[in-house]
Structure 1
Amino acid sequence: MARIGWIDEFKGFVLLLVCLYHVEQAFPQAQMGMLHLNALRMSAFFFISGMLFSTRRFPDFKSYLVHKTRVLLIPYILLSLLFLALDPVLYNFDLFPKAPRMTVMNIKPEIAGVWDYIYWNLAKIFVVGKSSIGSGPLWFVFTLYSVSLMFYSVQWVAIHFFSQTRTEMPHQVRYDNKKAEKTESVSKLFIAVFAIISLAGGWLLYKNHVRLPLGIERDLTVLFFFACGWLSKEPIRNTLCGKGKKGFPWSLVVATSITTFILYAAFEIPNPDFSIMNNTLGKSLPIFIASSFFGIAGLVAAFILADKLPDIAPIRIIKGILRNISRNALVILAVHWYILLVMRLLFRAEINQPGIAYLSIAIVTAGVIAAIPLFRCKLYKLLGKQPASVRESLDIRN
């Protein structure tokens, strides 16, 4: 199936925001306002992932499970172990005090040596689903795997219990269109209600400081956005992406994008402790939901608008870069964090200076560009992908 251009660009943009946020975390002197986007980044990523959810190629749960295990779970494990093995702390434990702090299911472990460090990193990978210190952002690869399987089950229940639309006749099967529409609406309502209950469960676990194995409390929160993305797929396709009478006029899409971004700014409350990874969701559930959805709506409208812009060189290059980021997400997520970790451990005092801190962006960019062909051409099995040429791995034309 052909990739949908604006969705790839959307994903690439969100992943770019993730990388910039991590730069700001590692070197606070590189201020880019990323703290104000905490309520938007991950919720937007899982929303767009829900829009892409499809079981059309998979006849049953087993085939879907095997596919997702190959492209998500196995790369998560292999990359987590690889970057654990490359962690500088393993080879110079004196660097440990400079490493990011580790929390495992509300436990702040006392780490006295390298073997303790390895043990708790393995616990993070296999028990908590948050990857090793050396590849921290891969937590949401594991979360995407878990939530995809959860949503498959929810959709299966909705289809098999609420969408029995066939009426058996002696020599034919007759489809009642009105009944089909009604049962489809009921199944979608079931999914919507389940999503709300899931969010409520995630919120209650957060408020009671409960941390479960494999990040289940995080999955409950994320499933809400994933389901909302899936439920929004047809309305977005039929209205914002539609043509002719079905499509929104440009002026309305522009107004929608501007208005929702203004509302996001009004509702968003910057909070350095906010983290979907840790299921730390702020003080107010309505504020969290409102700011997330206004931000998502603004981004969706903006990228649909960008999809209609003239195909001139500067726009084409920007779109190509964002699509390339989306296609190489696994590599970029792991490598950019590892580069930042090494700089943080070895050169933080020198780099975290006014003006100089922004050079870290150029260093990370150069390192990531060098790593993409290495992984796509030589280490492609770690990514669950087929091998690609250097030109193909860095291509921004398609």
Structure 2
Amino acid sequence: MTNEQKRIGWIDEFKGFVLLLVCLYHVEHAFPQAQMGMLHLSTLRMSAFFFISGMLFSTRRFPDFKSYLVHKTRVLLVPYILLSLLFLALDPVLYNFDLFPKAPRMTVMNIKPEIATVWDYIYWNLAKIFVAGKSSIGSGPLWFVFTLYSVSLMFYGVQKLAVLTARIPMLNRVQHDRKAKIATAVTAIVSLAGGWMLYKNHIRLPLGIERDLTVLFFFANGWLCKGALKDPRLRGDDTRGKNILALVVATIVAFAAYAYLEVPDPNFSIMNNILGKSLPIFVASSFFGIAGLVAAFILADKLPDIAPIRIVKGILRNISRNALVILAVHWYILLVMRLLFRDTFNKPGIVYLSIAIVAAGVIAAIPLFRCKLYRLLGKQPASVRDALNIQE
């Protein structure tokens, strides 16, 4: 492993951890008896995911927008559509409509449809996929794959606009970059304001444009921070003790501030652009939550390379690499359990067995998709060993 790879190795672990939180939240949502405190992390999970995605934004391999568009369409949009349709076809409600009352409710652009037949159910699921950009009921979490696709394309345009804005004669490279970053930051703030205004006025737009505006704020801030967060001096090789102490303090202070500011709200949803009662609280709690996670994972990157730590990091990296499969499959398993076995599992103590069942199902599905159904993921085929690998 090169120094460059090692220096930013915590990023995949960060993504894997956030995706794990998403899965646990869905368990808690499907079975209310599973009390894991996930509601308290609502303003953190998706904000952190899009922040770290912004850090990874790069157009270096793409000479123009067309090539970037083709790449993102292949690895994000096509998998979103194919997986959404696959899990719609596997939805138990299609084969036993009596299960419909137990299925998650659906809303399409403020419309709460009246569904009386299987064909109504199929029609509105297709509307969710292609009009609202929220995926089918059978693969609900894939909404943020589509959102990541949309926001990546939007941010490409933001970057081009920022560069044009910064083209002032007589500026050197450093000044030019600073102007471009200021333009990007201003655009991010304006975008968040637009998302907030649409939320306050209960406006839902096609393809989830209102949530794109909200998400673009976090995506842009991730990109703005990536220079500092990828700085090799963060490894603290020369002042290791001082650097670690600073990270410990930063982690504690950030999470304490998050705990103080965060207000649990069962209706909060970035997917639906429902952002809470206060914009400053939403932004501040998200900021401190993201800061706490970033500091914690940079700190974890400095821990001794012993087997238990290596295994945990490897599992998180594997979750990150297999995000598409995990997002779709864990939700589908929970959907089936919710429709068929909710009363069985939604009991104190027993409910936590659902986590083991979901984990086992996901582990079994990863090699199936990575080895046989890889075209649905926009990936190259992998061996079972590579698909489940948790080594460096």
TM-score, normalised via structure 1 length: 0.95
Give 1:239-250 correspondences, 5 Å limit: 241-244=234-237, 249-250=243-244
Partner Cα distance (1:2, 1:164) in 2: 36
Q: Give the SS at the match of 1:354.
A: coil
1:68 alignment partner, one of 62, 65, 72: 72
Partner Cα distance (2:331, 2:11) in 1: 24
Q: CA deviation at 1:241?
A: 2.4
Q: CA deviation at 1:237?
A: 2.2
Q: Deviations over 1:284-307 (max 9, x none)?
A: 000000000100000000000100
Q: Is the 8 A contact 2:87 2:138 kept in 1?
A: yes
Residue 387 (structure 2) pairs with residue 393 (structure 1): yes
Q: What CA RMSD, in Å, does the superposition of the two structures yield over aligned residues?
A: 1.5
Q: Deviations over 1:252-301 (max 9, x none)?
A: 11100110000000000000000000000000000000000100000000
Residue 369 (structure 2) pairs with residue 378 (structure 1): no
**Alignment-derived partner of residue 319 in structure 1:** 313
1:281 alignment partner, one of 250, 275, 279: 275
Residue 156 (structure 2) pairs with residue 152 (structure 1): yes
Greater mean alpha carbon deviation, residues 229-238 or residues 207-216: 229-238
Give 1:63-142 correspondences, 5 Å limit: 63-142=67-146
Pair 1:348–1:56, CA change in 2 (3 A) = same
Q: CA deviation at 1:236?
A: 1.7
Q: Is the 8 A contact 1:240 1:304 kept in 2?
A: no
Q: Give the SS at the match of 2:231.
A: helix
**Alignment-derived partner of residue 13 in structure 2:** 9
Equivalent AA in structure 1 for residue 277 of structure 2:
K
**Alignment-derived partner of residue 223 in structure 2:** 230
Partner Cα distance (2:175, 2:239) in 1: 22
Partner Cα distance (1:239, 1:205) in 2: 40
2:296 alignment partner, one of 275, 282, 302: 302
Equivalent AA in structure 2 for residue 320 of structure 1:
G
Q: Deviations over 1:160-203 (max 9, x none)?
A: 331467xxxxxxxxxx7x62211211110000000000000000
2:207 alignment partner, one of 206, 209, 214: 214
Partner Cα distance (2:179, 2:168) in 1: 11
**Alignment-derived partner of residue 30 in structure 2:** 26
Partner Cα distance (2:9, 2:69) in 1: 27
Q: Deviations over 1:64-96 (max 9, x none)?
A: 000000000000000000000000000000000
Equivalent AA in structure 2 for residue 79 of structure 1:
L
Q: CA deviation at 1:249?
A: 1.3
Equivalent AA in structure 2 for residue 348 of structure 1:
R
Where do 5+ consecutive residues of structure 1 fail to align? Answer: 166-175
Partner Cα distance (1:217, 1:257) in 2: 32
Q: Deviations over 1:189-224 (max 9, x none)?
A: 000000000000000000000000000000000000
Partner Cα distance (1:44, 1:240) in 2: 23
Q: Give the SS at the match of 1:39.
A: helix
Equivalent AA in structure 2 for residue 290 of structure 1:
A
Q: Deviations over 1:11-58 (max 9, x none)?
A: 000000000000000000011000000000000000000000000000
Q: Deviations over 1:233-257 (max 9, x none)?
A: 1122237625456987110111001
Partner Cα distance (1:355, 1:104) in 2: 36
Q: Give the SS at the match of 1:233.
A: helix
Q: Deviations over 1:310-355 (max 9, x none)?
A: 1000000000000000000000000000000000000001110111
2:57 alignment partner, one of 49, 53, 68: 53
Partner Cα distance (2:271, 2:233) in 1: 31
**Alignment-derived partner of residue 165 in structure 2:** 161
Q: Give the SS at the match of 1:38.
A: helix
**Alignment-derived partner of residue 184 in structure 1:** 177
**Alignment-derived partner of residue 334 in structure 1:** 328
Equivalent AA in structure 2 for residue 378 of structure 1:
K
Detail structure 1 runs of 4+ shifted over 3 Å in the superposition: 1-4, 242-248
Q: How many residues align?
A: 387
Partner Cα distance (1:246, 1:49) in 2: 29
Partner Cα distance (1:190, 1:161) in 2: 7
Q: Is the 8 A contact 2:234 2:243 kept in 1?
A: no
Partner Cα distance (1:242, 1:305) in 2: 9
Equivalent AA in structure 2 for residue 272 of structure 1:
P
Partner Cα distance (2:239, 2:160) in 1: 30
Q: Deviations over 1:123-146 (max 9, x none)?
A: 000000000000000000000000
Q: Give the SS at the match of 1:220.
A: helix
Q: Give the SS at the match of 2:230.
A: helix
Where do 5+ consecutive residues of structure 2 fail to align? Answer: none
Q: Give the SS at the match of 1:124.
A: helix
TM-score, normalised via structure 2 length: 0.96
